[in-house]
Structure 1
């Protein structure tokens, strides 16, 4: 006879395990810092999840040619396979130092496992621990609201390009820090030595 168990329920209530079962249940997903060896797999995942149009987004203008914030690039792995990624980038939010989050992507075969939420929790916790005061992003409001992001906090800010205001969200890690933020969001991260040409420039050159 084969016994089937809900792993999440058993983690929450280990007393439900039968007496002969080991109470330690291995979690196959690992959330950790991104390393240089992850870069190629990360780019393949982003291409598969978002396609070439990801380089046309207004938020990409804030990442283009820049390095991500140090220590704030996080990946999720399943065994040796990279299945999730999120990074944060230094920006100036209308005179307030902040971070831009994104892109967040999870492999399509693993999207029912809560990986996106775990990456978000890790990224926010690390940003707060490092002393950052605010995080901006452009994304689906119903999803990101669960982490505290709110479009009301970006009302006086503008992205460098057309942006759906309902998707332009922010999270204050220090209450009230964005109260006086006004104007265009600008990139402030360190320049990447090997600047990758934008999709726009690549098409003009083709």
Structure 2
């Protein structure tokens, strides 16, 4: 049975899952950098456990949308499932539980860079529809946002400012 739970002392296993999922270490190193920053939220670094095996990981971390004021938001990055466990619904469960936890913790906005065909089913929409732009060079179709609270994005035109360590991915 799959159990979605906050990470505890599984950093080495998480690093391996992410490396295997992406076929490189950059995303796993990003997670390490986020974990060591003030943007890390331990309750929003979730793993999919089966027995004692880590099969997947999702991370939501603090970012800011620059408008005339600074609007707090979360970045969903990365989502990873071990290659032999992909296409079994583990990623979907991680996203669903993760978004639910974000709501429970009273967050309002989540941004993601990813495949629109995947993320649209969770309610993500193109960020440009809301007048949002990214500080990273991201294709418009891959830059998406989700309101966790109704009207959270109303009248927010601005630049989603990713921390510098995101530039290294």
Bin for the TM-score computed over the shorter chain = 0.7 to 0.9
Relative to total residues, which structure has the larger strand share, 1 or 2? 2
Any stretches of 5+ residues in structure 2 without a counterpart? none
Which residue of the partner structure matches residue 88 of structure 2?
Answer: 113
How many Å separate the matches in 2 of 1:82 and 1:93?
A: 32
5 Å-filtered alignment, 1:104-143, equals 104-143=79-118
Cα distance change on mapping 1:153 and 1:65 into 2, 3 Å: farther
User: Using the alignment, how far apart are the partners of 2:128 and 2:41 within structure 1?
Assistant: 22
Q: Secondary structure of 1:104's partner? A: strand
Assess if the C-alpha contact under 8 Å between 1:88 and 1:99 holds in 2: yes
Q: Does 1:87 align with 2:87?
A: no
Distance 1:164 1:186 in 2: 16
Give the drift of 1:49: 1.4
Provide the aligned length of Structure 1 versus Structure 2. Answer: 161
Instruction: Point out where structure 1 has 5 or more consecutive residues left out of the alignment.
Output: 1-27, 189-195, 201-206
Shift of 1:184: 2.2
User: What is the CA deviation profile of residues 177-201 of structure 1, one whole-angstrom value per residue up to 9, with x for unaligned ones?
Assistant: 112222322258xxxxxxx9x868x
What's 2:78 paired with? Answer: 103
Matched residues in 2 for 1:156 and 1:108: separation?
35
Q: Verify: 1:148 aligned to 2:131, yes or no.
A: no
Rounded Cα–Cα distance in structure 1 between residues aligned with 2:46 and 2:159: 27
Partner Cα distance (1:152, 1:123) in 2: 20
Name the TM-score, length of structure 2 as normaliser.
Answer: 0.83
Q: Per-residue deviation at 1:102?
A: 1.3
Change beyond 3 A, Cα 1:126–1:146: same
Q: Is 2:49 aligned against 1:74?
A: no
Determine the C-alpha separation between the residues in 1 that align with 2:168 and 2:134. Answer: 19
Could you tell me which residue of structure 2 aligns to residue 181 of structure 1?
A: 156
> For the aligned residues, what is the CA RMSD?
2.7
For 1:47, which of 1, 15, 19 is the aligned residue? 19
Larger radius of gyration: 1
